[in-house]
Amino acid sequence: MKTLIARKIGMTQLADEQGRVTPATLLFSDSCVVTQIKDQQKDGYRAVQIGYGHRQKINKPLAGHLKHLKMQPAILREFTLLESDDQLKVGTIIDLDQFAVGEKVRLSATSKGKGFAGTVKRHNFHRGPVTHGSQNVRKPGSIGSMYPQKIIKGKRMAGRMGHRKVTLKNREIIYLDKSNHIIGIRGPVPGPRKSLVCIEGQ
Global pTM reads 0.84
Residue range of the domain that includes 124 = 118-142+149-162
Does 125 have pLDDT greater than 80? yes
Residues 98 and 51 in one domain: yes
**For 142, phi and psi rounded to 5 degrees?**
-65, 135
pLDDT average, residue stretch 96-109: 93
Residues 137 and 76 in one domain: no
Residues 171 and 76 in one domain: yes
Residues 103 and 168 in one domain: yes
Q: What is the pLDDT of residues 4-30, one digit of tens each?
A: 999 999 999 999 888 899 999 999 998
- Residue 85: which pLDDT band, with cuts at 50, 70 and 90? low
Residues 122 and 187 in one domain: no
142, 143, 146, 151 alpha-carbon torsion, rounded to 10°: -170
Residues 173 and 77 in one domain: yes
Residues 170 and 95 in one domain: yes
Q: What is the pLDDT of residues 164-190, one digit of tens each?
A: 999 999 999 999 999 999 999 999 999
Tell me which of 125 and 40 has the higher pLDDT: 125
Residues 177 and 127 in one domain: no
- Total structural domains within the chain: 2
Residues 113 and 172 in one domain: yes
Residues 70 and 153 in one domain: no
- Residue 150: which pLDDT band, with cuts at 50, 70 and 90? confident
Domain CATH for 71: 2.40.30.10
